[in-house]
Copies of this chain bind each other. A is one copy, B any other.
């Protein structure tokens, strides 16, 4: 085998993985590697086949003069299953239980491996929708939002509870926390969202959905659209759920502080991705 082709395969794989959802012209690769377009095209065929076989994603070819190739990340059903099972068993360890029935999840959200897996999962399920931005609320949702945005190759906007001088002019709304019924404020820099943008909302935890409803209302102020909602963990046994259409990875079915018990089940992610593939 010629070193040249091997080297091109390695280099192109690296480039595509680092530029997801981005159209790359064959000319770009041909010039970068001083190779014929026909060889580049053959290489892309091999990369596409391997990506698909190994559940990494796929390459979409756009024909024509302005065409090229685009890497769409995805994840195999098996990997989704393994990751969700791993998350479930991690989350149900009793030493996560904090006073008030809250859960300590910082260690999971600190780990780039889990964060990236979650990002890949959400990016693959929302990848066929038009997403211009990923939105989350400070602080815990931030790593997940960036991981999703990374695979979708779009910016992130972070809603804050305070009003920092470094944001410039801001838009604020009040919202009612669904579970505690407290009135809170949400703030977002005015220049962060353009009118008509399609925004994917990502958060780490959803109880009744007050915070997510707040973000939806904030998007209305910007005349932007909700492209989807994804949460890592949702609590069940909620009297009144404020949000309907969302994707979750893990469902918290029981938290019993007295008996130091956490019970979890898989979220609706698998049902949704199963329905899509039918």
A residues at B contact (CB < 8 Å) = 1-3, 5-7, 9-11, 13-14, 17-18, 46-47, 49-51, 53-54, 56, 98-100, 102-107, 110-113, 115-116, 138-140, 142-143, 146-147, 149-150, 153-158, 160, 164-168, 189, 191-192
Contacts and interface: CB of A to CB of B under 8 A. Distances in A.
Contacts of A103: 166
A106 B192 contact: yes
Given A1-B5, A9-B6, A14-B54, A143 B140 contact: no
Chain A interface, DSSP helix/strand/loop, else mixed: helix
Task: Quickly give the copy total for this chain.
Answer: 2
A116 B17 CA distance: 13
A82 to B, nearest CB: 15
A53 B33 CA distance: 12
Nearest to A10: B50
Contacts of A113: 153
Nearest to A150: B112
A120 to B, nearest CB: 10
Contacts of A56: 11, 14
Contacts of A154: 112
A182 B199 CA distance: 37
